[in-house]
């Protein structure tokens, strides 16, 4: 399922980092809703609710910050809401019609403080 479109700033940043990308469309696989990763997030209490999954495209469009994760080589978005959420976009794994397209590696609730810690530590590089 399509959940959003990356802005030019994220595309440019990912390309500078040599992320293989041919399309700005961000996809999400159903395994993130029902697979092992979904079960792991549900067990740890940081999974998105059904209502949050329904509005995920809106949340992504209203992201508060985009960063580059230097360890995972992904673009990570801080999504708005009462419980901030993190959405990580990876590159080069998914192909569609011969194009390298970005797909969602994970989506879960996170503390903004952890986001800020990663920025201070240099794990995250702020894109905007």
Answer yes or no: is pLDDT of 83 > 90. Answer: no
Answer yes or no: is pLDDT of 96 > 80. Answer: no
Mean pLDDT of 5-19: 93
Closest CA to 83 of 57, 106, 115, 105: 115
Closest CA to 27 of 56, 60, 1: 1
Q: What is the mean pLDDT of the chain?
A: 87
Residue 58: C-alpha distances to residues 3, 12, 63, 64, 100 (Å): 8, 22, 9, 12, 24
DSSP type of residue 48? P
State the pLDDT confidence band at 94, using cuts at 50, 70 and 90. low
pLDDT given at position 82: 66
Domain count, the chain: 1
Expressed as residue numbers, the domain containing 20 is: 2-126
Contact criterion met (CB below 8 Å) for 39 and 106: no
Q: Which residue has the higher pLDDT, 60 or 23?
A: 60
């Amino acid at each position: 399922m399509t959940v959003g479109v990356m802005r030019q700033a994220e595309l440019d940043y990912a390309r500078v980092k040599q992320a293989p990308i041919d399309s700005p469309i961000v996809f999400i696989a159903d395994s993130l809703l029902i697979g092992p990763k979904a079960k792991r997030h549900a067990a740890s209490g940081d999974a998105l609710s059904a209502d949050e999954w329904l509005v995920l495209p809106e949340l992504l469009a209203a992201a508060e910050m985009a960063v580059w994760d230097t360890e995972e080589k992904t673009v990570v978005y801080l999504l708005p809401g009462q419980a901030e959420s993190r959405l990580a976009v990876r590159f080069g794994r998914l192909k569609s019609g011969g194009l390298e397209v970005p797909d969602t590696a994970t989506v879960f609730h996170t503390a903004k403080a952890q986001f800020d810690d990663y920025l201070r530590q240099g794990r995250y590089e702020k894109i905007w």
